[in-house]
């Protein structure tokens, strides 16, 4: 029937119209929604936040680190310790959004993750001001404040963690910035353009050559491969494939074993060890230690780099003393040190201890996770003994605390300016204490401050001492 044919045409036409709608909706969502969302007339983006007092953030002992206050119908975020936590907690600004913990735990802080909230929101338009969830960080405020004080005016990072649980006790980066929204909006442009990079959280995103602190991993590989008792001849410098590698101040240490070589941080010995181990064993230990691995963390963390595809002898020698192309973040270096303290097992770093709702009921306890084993417990035990000697009779004497056995390793990392003799090296120290039952592991880096035995080691000592004294 002719009419039926035409009716089919009508059906096709109407169905096409419907498909056009679905297509157009998809187009809006894929290509236009970002513009729409960011439109200043879209009150949606601020409305939820105006109705919600963002939750408080506390340190592990309940010290208030961030809270919200209603001012003129708007919620203002206040950070009582100013810039001290700017790179840990971050900021919360209408203009520039949110960063670090404020961003990662936005939903929790606004309290919109809870299913019970959904059913209470039937008429969402006329809600009274709600209160978001509170966060308890693993950070110890006393330690963080001390770290901030010690790094004041310098560039660098201090990381302290509990080696057994992976809890971060202090995460200090310097320079930092004022995270209050008003200040942020005022200073944004100049901070973005500043060569000091105040927004860079050096502790988790700064990538540095590890320098001699890397020798603890080479020591582990050496012990695993039976080189523990070998005696080396250290004449102060060595030429490997035409590249001369020298000790600090070209000092000759004579006939020394591995333990002594670590204590005096002999580049000559470790360069030889690197070439002896070869690339396979080298990458084996760096893989176990988590290089080139995305480590899960609450705030964005850089991957530590070990970008070698092929290593010749000079590469092996340079890498073994922590130079060359190897780059680590201070947090990762602290995790490796903590791994040795924790019988070879590296723990996943945690920054948030628990989340509680506004009535104080704990809604979520963060679990402690094993990240992986770097080395066997007996190897870790041997390195621990060697690292104690670094502090008692080696380069790390500045880290020694009276009455407490400290294990550590210094590092003096060359950088783009020190190579041209325009500045001093970066100063590193990693360590933990007490050696027999480690409670705290630290990694300290201070940029352009020279030998790790001086500045970094004494900062580490003060941090460890403070933590162990209470």
Partner 1 sequence: MFCLLYNHQKGPWDEYLILIVSMLLSVGLMTIYRLNESLGLKQLVWIAVGLGMFFAFYHVYIKVDKWDRFAYVYISLCAALYLVTLILGRNINGAVNWIVIGGFSFQPSELCKILFVFFLAAYFKNPDNLFLTKYIQDERLRILLNRALLMLVVYCNIGLLVLQRELGTALLLYSTFLVVLYVFSKDLKMFLINSAFIVPGVILGYFKFYHLRVRVDAWINPWADITDKGYQITQSLFAIASGGFFGTGIGMGRPDMVPAVSTDFIFSAICEEMGIFGGAAVVLLCMLFTYRGIKIVLGLKDRFKKVLGLGIVTMIGLQTFIIIGGVIKLIPLTGITLPFVSYGGSSLVTSFIALGILQVISNPRFDRVGGEADG
Q: How many helices (H) and strands (E) does the chain have?
A: 16, 21
Helices 330-341 and 377-393 cross at an angle (nearest 10°) of 110
**Which 83-112 positions form the footprint of partner 1 (CB under 8 A)?**
112
Footprint of partner 1 on residues 254-313 (CB under 8 A)?
none
| Interface residue with partner 1, options 6, 94, 186, 325 (CB under 8 A) | 6
- Nearest approach, Cβ of residue 125 and partner 1 (Å): 4
Helices (H), ranges, 91-195: 100-104, 106-110, 115-119, 141-151, 181-193
CB of 313 to partner 1, least distance (A): 55
* 285 Cβ neighbours under 8 A, 6+ residues apart: 217, 218, 220, 221, 224, 374, 375
**Nearest residue (CB) to partner 1, 37 versus 70:** 37
Residues 6+ apart with CB under 8 A from 440: 160, 161, 162, 163, 169, 432, 433, 463, 464, 467, 468
Closer to partner 1 by CB, 129 or 393: give it. 129
* 80, 97, 124, 300: which one binds partner 1 (CB under 8 A): 124
Choice between 38 and 437, CB closer to partner 1: 38
Residues 17-76 that bind partner 1 (CB under 8 A): 17-18, 20-22, 24-26, 28-29, 32-34, 36-37, 39, 41-44, 47-48
Cβ distance to partner 1 smaller for residue 123 or 190: 123
127 binds partner 1, rule: CB under 8 A: no
Q: Among all chains, which residue has been given the structure tokens 């210094």?
A: 410
**Helix or strand run (H / E) with residue 433:** strand 426-433
Nearest to 145 by CA among 158, 135, 162, 163: 158
Q: How far is the CB of 132 from partner 1 (least distance, A)?
A: 14
Q: Compare residues 40 and 190 and give the one whose CB is closer to partner 1.
A: 40
CB of 35 to partner 1, least distance (A): 8
**Is the alpha carbon torsion for 118, 124, 127, 129 positive or negative?**
positive
Mark the segment that binds partner 1 (CB under 8 A) among 13-21, 129-137, 410-418, 441-449: 13-21
CB-based burial label for 452 (10 Å; 0-12, 13-18, 19+)? buried
Residue 6 or 370 with smaller CB distance to partner 1: 6
Structure tokens belonging to residue 283: 């990458």
Q: Which of 123, 190, 229, 280 binds partner 1 (CB under 8 A)?
A: 123
Binding site for partner 1 (CB under 8 A): 3-4, 6-11, 14-15, 17-18, 20-22, 24-26, 28-29, 32-34, 36-37, 39, 41-44, 47-48, 112, 118-119, 121-125
């Amino acid at each position: 029937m002719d009419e039926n044919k035409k009716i089919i045409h009508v059906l096709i036409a109407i169905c096409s119209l419907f498909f056009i709608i679905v297509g157009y909706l998809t187009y809006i969502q894929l290509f236009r929604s970002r513009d729409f969302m960011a439109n200043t007339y879209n009150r949606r983006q601020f409305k939820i936040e105006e109705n919600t007092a963002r939750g408080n953030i506390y340190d592990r002992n309940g010290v208030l680190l961030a809270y919200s206050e209603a001012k003129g119908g708007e919620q203002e975020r206040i950070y009582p310790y100013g810039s001290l936590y700017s790179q840990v907690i971050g900021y919360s600004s209408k203009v520039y959004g949110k960063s670090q913990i404020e961003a990662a735990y936005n939903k929790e802080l606004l309290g919109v993750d809870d299913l019970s909230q959904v059913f209470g929101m039937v008429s969402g338009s006329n809600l009274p001001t709600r209160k978001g969830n509170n966060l308890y960080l693993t950070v110890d405020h006393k330690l963080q404040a001390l770290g901030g004080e010690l790094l004041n005016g310098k560039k660098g990072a201090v990381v302290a963690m509990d080696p057994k649980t992976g809890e971060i006790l202090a995460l200090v980066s310097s320079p930092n910035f004022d995270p209050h929204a008003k200040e942020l909006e005022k200073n944004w442009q100049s901070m973005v353009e500043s060569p000091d990079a105040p927004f860079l959280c050096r502790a988790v995103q700064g990538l540095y050559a590890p320098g001699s602190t890397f020798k603890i991993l080479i020591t582990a590989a050496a012990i695993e491969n039976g080189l523990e008792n070998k005696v080396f001849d250290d004449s102060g410098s060595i030429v490997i494939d035409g590249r001369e590698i020298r000790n600090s101040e070209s000092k000759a240490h004579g006939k020394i074993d591995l333990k002594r070589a670590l204590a005096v941080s002999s580049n000559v010995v470790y360069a030889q060890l690197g070439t002896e181990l070869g690339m396979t064993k080298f990458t084996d230990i760096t893989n176990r230690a988590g290089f080139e691995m995305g480590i899960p963390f609450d705030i964005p963390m850089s991957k530590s780099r070990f970008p070698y595809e092929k290593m010749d002898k000079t590469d092996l020698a340079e890498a073994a003393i922590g130079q060359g192309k190897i780059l680590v973040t201070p947090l990762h270096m602290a995790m490796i040190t903590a791994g040795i303290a924790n019988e070879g097992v590296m723990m996943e770093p945690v920054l948030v201890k628990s989340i509680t709702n506004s009535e104080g009921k704990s809604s979520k306890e963060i679990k402690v996770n094993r990240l992986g084993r770097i080395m066997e417990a007996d190897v870790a035990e041997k390195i621990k003994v060697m690292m104690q000697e670094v502090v008692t009779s080696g380069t790390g004497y500045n880290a020694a605390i009276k009455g407490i056995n400290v294990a550590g390793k210094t590092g003096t990392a060359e950088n783009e300016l020190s190579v041209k003799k325009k500045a001093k090296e970066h100063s590193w120290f990693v360590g933990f204490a007490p050696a027999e039952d480690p409670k705290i592991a630290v990694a300290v880096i201070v940029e352009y401050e020279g030998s790790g035995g001086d500045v970094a080691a004494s900062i580490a000592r003060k941090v460890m001492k403070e933590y162990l004294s209470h």
